[in-house]
Every structure is written in C-alpha cells, then in structure tokens.
Structure 1
Amino acid sequence: MNAKITSAEMAYNERDGYFGRVRFEVEGHKQPYELTLQSDKRMDDWNYSLNFLSESGVEQQIEAVEQAIEENDDFFDDLVEAAVNAMEA
C-alpha cells in the first residue's frame, strides 16, 4: 500500500502519555485518512483509531487500510515514526 504522509503531530503529558495524529493519503483512494495514536509513557503499546480525514469515503477502502495497519508492521511503524519525529522536531 503506497501512502503519503501529509502531516503528523505528537504530544506528551504525565497523565495520558503520548497522543498523536497522522494524516495521510493512500494511492488510488479518494479520501485522505487520519490515524489517532495513544500510548503509555514507554511507547511500547499503541492504541489507534483510523478515520477519514474530512468526509466519508468508500468503506472497502478504509477497511483495506485498516487491514494493512493490522498486518503490515512496517506500514504501522512508519505512521507512528512520523508522529514521534514531529514531536522531536
């Protein structure tokens, strides 16, 4: 799956740990996506939510992205890394 990250952000606070967002486009998909991330202080277990960025799109397409996130560790890690790098910048 070819994805282009358009923006990323990450913040940290003592109570909630890490919270970030990654906005990205997927080749051949009409609508862009937003991945919301949350992790504890150790950043070793990430919770996430995938949504269309601005308006609803094709359900089969978001399901394909969800499947790619679940099955392709490199794809998910690239998205997380973009958010972490945004925090360090």
Structure 2
Amino acid sequence: MEFQIIKADMKQDEDKHYLGHVTFTLEGHKSQYEITLFSKRGKEWDYSLNFAGESGVEEEFLKADEQLEEDDDLFDALVDAALDSMES
C-alpha cells in the first residue's frame, strides 16, 4: 500500500525510553493519521493510531489499523522515519 509521511519525530526520555510520532497518509484514504510509537529499548514497539486533526471515516481508520498490523514494511517505514528524525 502506498503511503506518504508528512512529519515524524522521536525523542528519548530520562529513562532512555523511545517516544515518537509520525503523521502520514494512506493511498485512497481521505484522512491523515498519526501513529504514536513507544519502546523501552528501541527493539519492540507499542503503538497507538489516531486521526491527525479532525476525525474521519471509521471504516478507513479500521483498515489503516489492520494494515499496520499486517504490513511489516509499512510499520517499519514509520518507525524508521521517526528514528531518522533523531539523527537530524
């Protein structure tokens, strides 16, 4: 699935835990999404998906969440974008 990253950021807190955000769009979806990423060590990631800005179509949101669960390349690209923002 085609996607476009709009913005990404990642920080480490005082305990060296990673916390990041990526705003992105998915092909064919009307809304932008924001994924919040969290990891204690930068290896295994928890995430939360939300609409970026205004709420959109719930069916599209559920498809986006399903896509994140099933498409490792998409998920890894979002994580990489957030991690790359730390190096800037």
TM-score bracket relative to the smaller structure = over 0.9
SS in 1 for 2:18: strand
Q: Percent identity?
A: 48
Tell whether 2:56 aligns with 1:57.
yes
Structure 1: state its 5+ residue gaps: none
Tell whether 2:8 aligns with 1:5.
no
| C-alpha distance in 2 between matches for 1:55 and 1:34 | 11
The residue that corresponds to 2:71 in the other structure is 72
Q: How does 1:11-22 map to 2 (within 5 A)?
A: 11-15=11-15, 17-22=17-22
- Aligned-residue Cα RMSD (Å) equals 1.0
Report the AA paired with residue 38 of structure 1: F
Report the AA paired with residue 4 of structure 2: K
SS in 2 for 1:9: strand
Q: TM-score, normalised by structure 2?
A: 0.94
**Once the 2 structures are TM-superposed, how far is the Cα of residue 15 of structure 1 from its aligned partner?**
2.3
Structure 2: state its 5+ residue gaps: none
Report the AA paired with residue 73 of structure 2: D
SS in 1 for 2:31: coil
Moved over 3 A (4+): none
